[in-house]
Amino acid sequence: MGFDPKAIRKDFPILNRKIRGKALVYLDNAATSQKPSSVIDLEKSFYETNNANIHRGVHLLSQESTEMMDLSREKVAKFIGAASAHEIVFTRNATEALNLVAHSWGRKFLKEGDEIVLTEMEHHSNLVPWQLAAKAKGATLKFIPVTPEGTIELEAARGLIGPKTKLVAFTAMSNALGTINPVPELLAMAKKHGATTLVDASQWTPHLKTDVAAWDCDFLVFSSHKMLGPTGIGVLWGKRKLLESMDPFMGGGDMIQEVWLDRSTWNEVPYKFEAGTPNIAGAIAFGAAVDYLNKLGMEAVRRHELELTEAALRVVEAEGQIALYGPRDPQHRGGVISFNVADIHPHDVGQVFDSEGIAIRAGHHCCQPLMRKLKIGGTARASFYVYNTLEDVSAFGRGLRKVKDFFKVPAEAKHG
């Protein structure tokens, strides 16, 4: 059976909504994805039939909850090619996972004079934590430049990553531009100099096959809510020996082994990093999202999104008067179209799209340094996922024409 987005749409109740009297066209998937009934139903069922706190409980409900969460952890581990479920740390989101590494690894192993290499296209979540860690430890931040086409300069990266490099941390796919970065090449550069590596896969893992064993990175982070799962659940994957060498991120219940009044010892990985009651229902429902994506097949997901992206790029090219950001080759970008219409503010563009029932994003996309590099204040962004169709791409084109008509954009209008 082939990949059928129209059949897939039936699994997503929210897509039946009308927005301002028009059928919802949801093109804000890079921010968060919608949830299939299987995910919604499992979270609801958990609260109705299994709800109890995990670990240490001797009663049946606690045992059931623990087993269900452990099963979800195993599914996530297998989904990304991890060697063990014990390498999967559940966090609130990818942002917390990045902060965990910056705090627990960075503040223990960084020292004065060390260099942290990032890129100019990083989301604030993979920038601000390293600014704080570098300031605390006396380390230096260096940045791989981004070209005007929205790709990173590999030759510059080779010059920046050197003997003083302690960490190389970068996004696998840009949330702002859709750029697919050369992950293996960057990891090889870092490994050559013995640097620790972190891949922000928040945009990659929902859309392309992820294999941490093949990449041989040290850390990887992503979020449930961008890949059909609930909000409030993120993932830190790390090599087990590295996780075991790190100090806890937060102190409290369940992350301890033994506690005295003046000292404590820590639980094993991953529980050492999961203080307090976690989002149990969300973690369990995340397993259903993984099941859904496995059923579709990540290769099929990529092929479908590539078809949509190619079609959307043709729409932009045919429409004219549109500034497009990011690689022109759809093979080098995810299902993200980041654009501006003439000199119209992105928020105004987004509001006109909304009047047509089309949900897109507008703003700096938590990438203010990148926007400054591109000499723009922000962009409008349409982003696709498994339930989007070629009809949605046509709606995207309709939205562009409505913007131009509403603001009376002249044929000779200039854009950035």
Residues forming the active site: 366
Q: Could you tell me the two tokens for 172?
A: 């696998």
Burial of 37: CB neighbours in 10 Å, binned 0-12, 13-18, 19+: middle
Give the closest residue to 232 by CA, choosing from 240, 223, 242, 241. 223
**Residue for token pair 């301002």:** 20
Separate counts of helices (H) and strands (E) for the chain? 15, 17
Contact 373, 380 (CB under 8 A): no
**Residue for token pair 């999967």:** 88
Q: If DSSP states are collapsed to H, E and C, what string results for 381-409?
A: EEECCCCCCHHHHHHHHHHHHHHHHHCCC
| 3-class SS of residue 268 | coil
- Distance (Å) of CA 96 to CA 90, 91, 93: 10, 6, 5
Half-sphere exposure of residue 169, counting CA atoms within 13 Å on the CB side? 28
Contact 127, 371 (CB under 8 A): no
Taking the C-alpha atoms of residue 259 and residue 166, their distance in angstroms, rounded to an integer, is 33
| 3-class SS of residue 170 | strand
Cα of 105 vs its chain's centroid, Å: 21
Residue spans of alpha helices (H) in 297-335 = 298-319
- Distance (Å) of CA 294 to CA 56, 212, 246, 288, 289: 32, 17, 32, 10, 9
- Helices 60-79 and 280-296 sit at what angle, rounded to 10 degrees? 40
